[in-house]
Amino acid sequence: MLYWSVPFRGQFVRAVLAFAEKSWTEAGDDQIAELMGGDVADMPVPFMGPPVLIDNGADVAISQMPAIILYLGETLELLPADPAKRALAIKVANDANDVIDELTIDGGREMWTEASWEEFVPRLKKWMSLWEDLGRRHGLTAEAGTLLGETQPGLADVVTATLWTTMCERFSKVKALFEQSAPATAGLAARVSALPALAQLAERTRAEYGDAYCGGDIGASMAKVLDA
């Protein structure tokens, strides 16, 4: 698996692999940079930026986070049986990708200021309410249930937990908004993140990458403005 040594977008792939009790190796930052700077013809799959999943056993390589999540969902049987719910699970992965892009102002196009953050808060609360409403439509409460009403947590729940728990653990202002705006989703994220495989991944992530969420100046800007 190719992703930078931070959680951010790669963490969704790591979390799904961990949840399914699969082991993987991280190519590391140097190899990613080398591949990105080399010929497209030499790439395992043509890609602009990581994550990239390489499934050696199946001789398959895939880029684009939601496409990787779909592949893992299909091959590891983590998707619901109902086609509409399968599509909803991938919608959740795409929503998660949109949220992290907005949280990082599209990878650091600008830096956060107190004013731009305050302006963004209603939109972030709306994102949170989208999760809350989707869950409630499928019977989710703070104490029980899953995002799509399945009996066991699956892909949509792992993506949900990874998105919100990774962010809330690092940015106290996001955490306060999340608990207030989306209590049922917050309960789900806590339950799924506490599953041993995901708790161990979170611990390993802390040990290897420290407090980092994403890299670059935008990571520093987020730590400064989004954490009280």
Ligand X SMILES: N[C@@H](CCC(=O)N[C@@H](CS)C(=O)NCC(=O)O)C(=O)O
Beta carbon nearer to ligand X, 65 or 201 = 65
Interaction between residue 51 and ligand X (CB under 6 A): yes
Q: How many CB atoms lie within 10 A of CB 47?
A: 18
Asked if 73 is part of the footprint of ligand X (rule: CB under 6 A), the reply reads no
Enumerate residues 6+ apart whose C-beta is below 8 A from 30: none
Least gap, CB of 102 to ligand X (angstroms) = 13
Candidate residues 12, 19, 50, 222; the one interacting with ligand X per rule CB under 6 A: 50
Cβ-contact 225, 114 below 8 angstroms? yes
Query: Per rule CB under 6 A, is residue 217 in the interface with ligand X?
Result: no
Which of 7, 8, 16, 178 is in the footprint of ligand X by CB under 6 A? 8
Instruction: Supply 116's token pair.
Output: 């731009």
The amino acid sitting at 166 is T
Q: How far apart are CA 165 and CA 155, in angstroms?
A: 15
Cβ distance to ligand X smaller for residue 48 or 84: 48
CB-based contact 167:176 (threshold 8 Å): no
Give whichever of 61 and 140 is closer to ligand X, judged by the CB atom.
61
Binding site for ligand X (CB under 6 A): 8-9, 48-51, 64-65, 97
